[in-house]
């Protein structure tokens, strides 16, 4: 056998490495790059800001409204007016009085509807009010002469009964009815046991202290059992036509916080925050506006952002991007001069 071949040694260049002249390099110095690139100012993004207090030079404070609030408000108002199909539009508490009743009884009916509405859907409240209007007392309300009817019933409102017969829901019948019977009539509403006690107790107070009518101030209304700020201010608007405060329920509280108008933890905090900057001519309508939005589009669970006119406008900071509209769309062809026009109609 032959011995293994020996490895050959290669010559290693021990000379120091040659210095590269910077003139020979093709690399552009960093300073040159900085000069070559033109820097353009980045457009500042409009920052959404909630309402905030600003101190004036004289030491007083004023509240600056949230950014773009008026655009958001106008957009939602237009959307709601175009499609008034929310339960609150036809079965809200302001719609549940009896058209043929006296003004005093109407005010009392509005107060009772508001007391029943807490933690209860509008549809359930409307059914309970229907029973009170027709089944209290002996269930046989007296007929009303046509000349006594102050206004014609609105065809778009919830049909309670033919307006030629008076309602059985009045203060006298509430005072006379037994708690058990009243509880039976309103048994579908939330917390009906407590509401039975509140309504009976309130009726006694109204008889003894307010000449069988309801109080004409929010402060006095809030002294009644079971009546809080929301009910009091809504009652003042619906029953007396006085808009002294904003009725803030869970929908108004939730949606205004979603929009970033305020950072509040309770509906009462939201009311105070809104009243500090919202124009007073909107205090009455904002409740129905946002309650309807919360019932149909901006739901507590499963918001339908694709159906909202604020979608894609970057006005709503809580928008869930990418949601497609759930509204049905129909394409109709119509013959027009020069061809066929296709019209897209959404429900």
pLDDT in tens, 156-209: 444 444 456 789 999 999 999 999 999 999 999 999 999 999 999 999 999 999
Give a yes or no: residue 274 inside a domain. yes
- 297, 347, 305: which is closest to 327 by C-alpha? 347
Give a yes or no: residue 120 inside a domain. yes
Give a yes or no: residue 97 inside a domain. yes
Among 19, 45, 230, 304, the one annotated catalytic:
230
pTM: 0.73
Give a yes or no: residue 31 inside a domain. no
**How many structural domains does the chain have?**
1
Give a yes or no: residue 71 inside a domain. yes
Q: Quick check: 49 pLDDT over 70?
A: no
Give 226-263 pLDDT, tens digit per residue.
999 999 999 999 999 999 999 999 999 999 999 999 99
Give a yes or no: residue 91 inside a domain. yes
Q: Give the rounded percent of residues in the chain with a pLDDT score beyond 90.
A: 64
Q: What is the pLDDT of residue 320?
A: 87
Give a yes or no: residue 289 inside a domain. yes
Long-range pairs of 201-204 with CB within 8 A, sequence gap ≥ 24: 201/225, 202/111, 202/115, 202/226, 202/227, 203/171, 203/174, 203/175, 204/175
Listed in order, strand segments (DSSP E) in 90-206 are none
- Active-site residue, 230 included: yes
Q: How many CB atoms lie within 10 A of CB 268?
A: 14
Give a yes or no: residue 264 inside a domain. yes
- What CATH number is given to the structural domain containing 150? 1.10.340.30
Q: Quick check: 274 pLDDT over 80?
A: yes
Give 108-162 pLDDT, tens digit per residue.
999 999 999 999 999 999 999 999 999 998 756 555 544 444 444 444 444 444 4
Range of the domain at 110: 64-299
Q: How many CB atoms lie within 10 A of CB 116?
A: 27
């Amino acid at each position: 056998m032959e011995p293994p071949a020996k490895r050959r040694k290669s010559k290693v260049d021990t000379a120091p490495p040659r210095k590269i002249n910077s003139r020979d390099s093709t690399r552009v110095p960093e300073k040159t790059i900085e000069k070559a690139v033109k820097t353009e100012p980045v457009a500042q993004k409009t920052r959404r800001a909630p309402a905030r207090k600003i101190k004036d030079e004289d030491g007083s404070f004023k509240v600056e409204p949230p950014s773009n609030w008026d655009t958001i408000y106008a957009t939602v108002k237009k959307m709601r007016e175009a499609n008034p199909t929310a339960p609150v539009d036809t079965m809200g508490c302001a719609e549940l009085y009896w058209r043929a009743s006296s003004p005093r009884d109407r005010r009392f009916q509005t107060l009772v509807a508001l007391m029943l509405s807490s933690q209860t859907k509008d549809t359930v409240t409307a059914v309970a009010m229907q029973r009170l209007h027709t089944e209290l007392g002996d269930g046989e309300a007296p007929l009303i002469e046509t000349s006594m009817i102050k206004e014609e019933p609105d065809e778009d409102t919830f049909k309670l009964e033919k307006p030629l017969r008076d309602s059985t829901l009045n203060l006298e019948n509430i005072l006379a009815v037994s708690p058990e019977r009243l509880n039976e009539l309103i048994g579908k509403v939330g917390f009906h046991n407590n509401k039975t006690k509140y309504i009976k107790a309130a009726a006694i107070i109204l008889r003894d202290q307010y000449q069988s009518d309801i109080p004409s101030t929010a402060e006095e209304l809030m002294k009644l059992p079971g009546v809080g700020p929301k009910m009091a201010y809504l009652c003042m608007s619906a029953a007396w036509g006085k808009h002294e405060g904003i009725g803030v329920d869970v929908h108004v509280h939730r949606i205004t916080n979603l929009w970033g108008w305020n950072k509040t933890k309770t509906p009462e905090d939201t009311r105070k925050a809104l009243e500090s900057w919202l124009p007073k001519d909107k205090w009455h309508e904002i409740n129905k506006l946002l309650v309807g939005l919360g019932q149909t589009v901006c739901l507590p669970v499963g918001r339908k952002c694709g159906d909202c006119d604020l979608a894609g406008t970057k006005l709503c900071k809580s928008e869930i991007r990418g949601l497609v509209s759930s509204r049905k769309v129909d394409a109709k062809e119509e013959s027009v001069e020069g061809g066929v026009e296709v019209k897209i109609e959404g429900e």
